Chain A
Amino acid sequence: MTAPLVEIRDVSKRFAKRLDVAGKIAQKLGAGAREEVVHAVDEVNLEVNEGEVLGLVGESGCGKSTLGRVVAGIHAPTSGQLLFQGNDVASMSGTDRRAATLAIQMIFQDPFASLNPRMRVEDIIGEAPRVHGIVSRSEASDYVDDIMRKVGLDPSLKRRYAHQFSGGQRQRIGIARALAVKPKFLVCDEAIAALDVSIQAQVINLFMDLREEFGLTYLFISHDLSVVEHIADRVAIMYLGRIVESASTEEIFSAPRHPYTKALLAEAPRLDQRKRDFAPIEGEIPSPLNPPDGCFFNPRCPHAQDLCRADQPKLETIGPGHTVACHYWQDT
Chain B
Amino acid sequence: MTDTALPSSAPAAAKVETPFQRFRAEFFESRIAATAFVVLVIIVLLAILAPWITPQNPYDLAQVDVLDGRLPPGSEAFAGYTMWLGSDGAGRDLYSAILYGLRISISVGLASGVIALIIGMTVGLIAAYAGGRTEAIIMRVVDLQLSFPASLVALMLVAALGKGVDKIILALVVAQWAYYARTVRATALVERGKEYVEAAQCLGLSRSRVVFRHILPNCLAPLIVVGTVQTAHAVSLEATLSFLGVGLPQTEPSLGVLIANGFEYMLSGRYWISVFPGIALLLTVASINLVGDQLRDVLNPRLKK
Direct contact of A and B (CB under 8 A): yes
A177 to B203, CA, bound (A): 9
> Are A166 and B12 CB-contacts (below 8 A) given A115-B196, A127-B205?
yes
Q: Which residues in A have their C-beta under 8 angstroms from that of B16?
A: 160, 164
B267 at the A interface (CB under 8 A): no
Greatest chain B CB density within 10 A among A72, A74, A118, A213 is at A118
A154 to B9, CA, bound (A): 5
B202 touching A168 by the CB < 8 A rule?
Answer: no
A202 to B4, CA, bound (A): 8
B218 at the A interface (CB under 8 A): yes
A127 to B203, CA, bound (A): 9
B1 touching A131 by the CB < 8 A rule?
Answer: no
B195 touching A108 by the CB < 8 A rule?
Answer: yes
A101 touching B4 by the CB < 8 A rule?
Answer: no
What 0/1 pattern do residues 200 to 221 of B give for CB contact below 8 A with A?
A: 1111110001000110011000
Q: Which residues in A have their C-beta under 8 angstroms from that of B11?
A: 157
A246 to B66, CA, bound (A): 96
Which residues between 90 and 131 of chain A lie within 8 Å of chain B, taking CB atoms?
98, 101-102, 104-106, 108-110, 113-119, 127-128, 131
Closest to B9 in A: A154
Q: Which residues in B have their C-beta under 8 angstroms from that of A177?
A: 199, 203
A113 touching B202 by the CB < 8 A rule?
Answer: no
B147 at the A interface (CB under 8 A): no
B8 touching A168 by the CB < 8 A rule?
Answer: yes
A86 at the B interface (CB under 8 A): no
A202 touching B5 by the CB < 8 A rule?
Answer: yes
Which residues between 129 and 184 of chain A lie within 8 Å of chain B, taking CB atoms?
131-132, 149-154, 157, 160-161, 163-166, 168-169, 172, 174, 177-178, 181
Q: Which residues in A have their C-beta under 8 angstroms from that of B269?
A: none
A157 to B19, CA, bound (A): 15
Q: How far is the CB of B304 from chain A (nearest CB, A)?
A: 11
A209 at the B interface (CB under 8 A): yes
Q: Which residues in A have their C-beta under 8 angstroms from that of B201?
A: 73-74
A131 touching B12 by the CB < 8 A rule?
Answer: no
Tell me which of A106, A128, A157 contacts B198 (CB under 8 A): A106
Closest to A161 in B: B19
B6 at the A interface (CB under 8 A): yes
A74 touching B196 by the CB < 8 A rule?
Answer: no
B62 at the A interface (CB under 8 A): no
Closest to A111 in B: B195
B194 at the A interface (CB under 8 A): yes
A152 to B205, CA, bound (A): 26
Q: Which residues in B have their C-beta under 8 angstroms from that of A108?
A: 195, 198-199
A14 at the B interface (CB under 8 A): no
B1 touching A209 by the CB < 8 A rule?
Answer: yes
What 0/1 pattern do residues 49 to 78 of A give for CB contact below 8 A with B?
A: 000000000000000000001001110000
A164 touching B202 by the CB < 8 A rule?
Answer: no
> Are A206 and B4 CB-contacts (below 8 A) given A113-B194, A113-B196, A116-B218?
yes
Number of interface residues of A (CB under 8 A): 52
A165 touching B19 by the CB < 8 A rule?
Answer: no
A100 to B212, CA, bound (A): 25
Q: How far is the CB of B221 from chain A (nearest CB, A)?
A: 10
> Are A106 and B205 CB-contacts (below 8 A) given A116-B218, A168-B8, A202-B8?
no
Closest to A205 in B: B4
B202 touching A152 by the CB < 8 A rule?
Answer: no
A311 at the B interface (CB under 8 A): no
Q: Which residues in B have their C-beta under 8 angstroms from that of A131?
A: 205, 209
A289 to B203, CA, bound (A): 32
Q: Which residues in B have their C-beta under 8 angstroms from that of A181?
A: 203-204
B19 touching A114 by the CB < 8 A rule?
Answer: no
A72 touching B204 by the CB < 8 A rule?
Answer: no
What 0/1 pattern do residues 143 to 179 of B give for CB contact below 8 A with A?
A: 0000000000000000000000000000000000000
B251 at the A interface (CB under 8 A): no
A109 to B198, CA, bound (A): 12
B268 at the A interface (CB under 8 A): no
Greatest chain A CB density within 10 A among B9, B13, B201, B214 is at B9
Greatest chain B CB density within 10 A among A101, A116, A154 is at A116
Q: How far is the CB of B212 from chain A (nearest CB, A)?
A: 12
A206 touching B205 by the CB < 8 A rule?
Answer: no
A209 touching B202 by the CB < 8 A rule?
Answer: no
A36 at the B interface (CB under 8 A): no
Q: Which residues in B have their C-beta under 8 angstroms from that of A174?
A: 199
Tell me which of A110, A150, A154, A168 contacts B195 (CB under 8 A): A110
B202 touching A213 by the CB < 8 A rule?
Answer: no
Closest to A166 in B: B12
A212 at the B interface (CB under 8 A): yes
A169 to B202, CA, bound (A): 21
Q: How far is the CB of A62 from chain B (nearest CB, A)?
A: 19
7 smallest A-B Cβ distances: which pairs?
A: A154-B9, A114-B195, A128-B203, A152-B5, A209-B1, A118-B217, A108-B195
What are 19 A-B residue pairs whose CB atoms fall within 8 Å in the complex?
A74-B198, A74-B202, A98-B204, A101-B202, A102-B204, A109-B195, A114-B194, A114-B199, A116-B217, A117-B218, A128-B203, A150-B1, A164-B13, A164-B16, A166-B12, A168-B8, A169-B12, A178-B199, A205-B5
